[in-house]
Amino acid sequence: MDKVQEIADCILNFDRKAIDARVNEALHAGVEPQKVLDDGMIAAMAEVGRRFEEGEFFVPEMLVAAKTMQQGLALLKPHLAEAGVKSAGKIVIGTVKGDLHDIGKNLVGMMVEGGGFEVVDLGVDVAPERFVEAARGVDVKVVGLSALLTTTMPNMKATVDALREAGLRDRVRVMVGGAPLSDAYAEEIGADGYALDASRAVRLARSLLA
């Protein structure tokens, strides 16, 4: 069987016991790190997203698949750096000030990383100033804001406003997500897009940078 396909199969079968061995075998067989990433991990995570949207996978399956991918990616990262492979872009994510919910945000982070992006996770209860500070970083292209409470949604607008006041809105795109949100709300607060779930967040990030 194709070494790269075996890596993809590990992710789709949630096989955390085998993923390290499969990645090492592919690299030792001379498979380029970029190919392992693109055709093994990113392709598998795209399929995970498709299965989620089709109702074949649910959040627990998506979570375990993403954790399997992350485990393999940790092993692959030094080889990617050595080969000079660049990420698709850097994304800063966090749950806005006053909100301590992180499951959705964590899943988005893992799925986006599985899509080839570098993720900077600021955690929960993140003030607008911290998002601004992180957005000033090198190669940051997208800021992702999460909220689960309607009472904390105004802090998304405060963060978008803070990014604008700091002169960063021309440089970074803002995407938002969370149960009470909608496309209309994203537009209302001046964000660039809204993702209904972690799978669509990857597509949104790509489209914002296209």
pLDDT at 206 over 80: yes
Percent of the chain with pLDDT over 70: 100
CATH 3.40.50.280 intervals, the chain: 90-209
pLDDT at 81 over 70: yes
Average pLDDT score over the chain = 95
Structural contact between residues 104 and 66, judged by C-beta atoms closer than 8 angstroms: no
Which residues, including other chains, have CB under 8 Å from residue 106's CB and lie 6 or more apart? Answer: 121
pLDDT tens digit string along 22-40?
999 999 999 999 999 999 9
DSSP secondary structure code for residue 36 in this structure: I
pLDDT tens digit string along 48-66?
999 999 999 999 999 999 9
Q: How confident is the model at residue 1 (pLDDT cuts 50, 70, 90)?
A: low
pLDDT at 11 over 90: yes
pLDDT at 76: 96
Fold classification of 3-82 is: 1.10.1240
C-alpha distances in angstroms, 66 versus 14, 32, 49, 51?
Answer: 9, 22, 10, 13
Range 196-202 average pLDDT: 93
Q: CA-to-CA distance for 67 and 48, rounded, in angstroms?
A: 12
Range 147-163 average pLDDT: 97
Tokens of 44: 């598998």
- Alpha-carbon Rg for the chain, nearest whole angstrom, is 17
Fold classification of 90-209 is: Rossmann fold (3.40.50)
Can you say how many angstroms the Cα of residue 74 is from the centroid of all Cα atoms in its chain? 15
Q: How confident is the model at residue 210 (pLDDT cuts 50, 70, 90)?
A: confident
CATH 1.10.1240.10 intervals, the chain: 3-82
